[in-house]
Amino acid sequence: MEKRELTCIGCPMGCQITVELEGTDILSVTGNTCAIGDRYARNEVIHPERTVTSTVVVEGGEKPRVSVKTSGNIPKDMIFACMKEIDAVRVKAPVRIGDVIIADILGTGVNVVATKNVD
């Protein structure tokens, strides 16, 4: 049996969670004070995911870059490949909040969207 200690990031409480597992079977989750912590811990030990934030070059804009983020989580082991794709992108001004900068990044079903306006 394996034990993993985690600090929950599901809410501001930051509970110290212990997950006991056998291979990929979760035997117990303890230390969480809410259901969010239970879900976070189970996902984190079996299939960790993250939201990615970055910037993209804007051509002809009032600012040289626009902030972007993934519209949902992507597998943690794909973050570096995702960043490589984001870094290669150039967009033309104007850019609006919510514009899809990269659709379905790396086949994840998740879009990379603008989080700022650039005229």
Closest CA to 68 of 52, 45, 88, 46: 52
Tell me, yes or no, whether 39 and 57 share the same domain.
no
pLDDT at 95: 98
1 in helix, strand or coil? Answer: coil
Tell me, yes or no, whether 28 and 10 share the same domain.
yes
Closest CA to 55 of 64, 47, 46: 64
Give the position of tokens 């409480």. Answer: 13
Tell me, yes or no, whether 34 and 71 share the same domain.
no
Tell me, yes or no, whether 59 and 39 share the same domain.
no
pLDDT at 24: 87
pLDDT at 105: 98
Tell me, yes or no, whether 72 and 105 share the same domain.
yes
Q: Is residue 119 part of a domain?
A: no
Structure tokens at 116: 């700022």
Residues 17, 38: Cα–Cα separation, whole Å:
8
Structural domain total, the chain: 2
Single-letter residue type at 51: T
Tell me, yes or no, whether 67 and 108 share the same domain.
yes
Look up the domain containing 88 and give its range. Answer: 53-114
Tell me, yes or no, whether 33 and 69 share the same domain.
no
In order along the chain (119 residues), what is the average pLDDT of each group of 10 residues?
Answer: 94 95 94 95 94 98 98 97 98 98 98 98
Q: Is residue 73 part of a domain?
A: yes
Full-model pTM: 0.83
Is the bond into 94 cis (omega within 30 degrees of 0)? yes
pLDDT at 66: 98
